[in-house]
Amino acid sequence: MSRRYAAASAAELIVAPATGLFDLVDPRAGVWPTIVDALGRAGTRRGAGGLSRLAVFLGARDGSDPAHAETAYAVGRGLADRGIELVYGGGGSGLMGRVSQGVIDGGGRVYGVIPRFMVQREWGRIGLELGVETTVVNTMHERKALMAERAQAFLALPGGLGTLEELFEVWTWQTLALHGKPVGLLNTGGFWDPLVALLRGFADVGFVEHDTIDQMVVGDQLDDVLERLASVAAVLRTR
């Protein structure tokens, strides 16, 4: 697989909003219209026969349970086998490296997006050495915008604060009807059970709708989760 190493700037990504949706957004920030516009423009694209590009959020560490590393690699191989492109944060360490290596070993396609400061700190070195097609951006916000633009659905594997931040952002935009892309959790070993229980508690006291939680695709088998993500995507596009 050949390497492509590109740089993107905010100016290349930002598109002026066409509605009053961004009246509440500080125009100096710029990046939030970018993210919303990217989600909206990409929400209708889909490969023949189902999902063809999946953004995977997961940890830059392996974690203490070896099963998480094994699962991440298996997910990569599974995506390659199904012809689904992996869209991810461009790193080469931890579970991020495992999933990208799995796709590459399976002959699949990987697209990474990484902020410049991570390249400078060599956090993305391994990913680049693997030959991952990578776009370098200036900020974390641009990274998420570009990932959101390219992907047709989002799936979270075990991870830490960064994984949670990515997950909740795209899920929040979905609940606000800013995009029609499904969001899922691969719940191998019950990793996400505490989070789901916490969210159920939020719903019980009136801060989250139970229907919102039910719309999240949660499962412990990749085949099942991918099939349900594709089904939810079809439903969301009709709304």
Find out whether 139 and 31 touch, Cβ atoms under 8 Å: yes
- Reading the chain (239 residues) residue by residue, the pLDDT tens digits are 333 434 444 333 322 222 222 232 333 344 433 333 444 444 333 433 489 999 999 999 999 999 999 999 999 999 999 999 999 999 889 999 999 999 999 999 999 999 999 888 877 665 566 677 889 999 999 999 999 999 999 999 999 999 999 999 999 999 998 889 999 999 999 999 999 999 999 999 999 999 999 999 999 999 999 999 999 888 776 66
pTM of structure: 0.79
Order of strands across the sheet that contains 5-7? 5-7, 133-137, 110-115, 85-88, 53-57, 153-156, 183-186, 217-219
Residue 105: how many other CB atoms lie within 10 Å: 13
CATH number of 48-237: 3.40.50.450
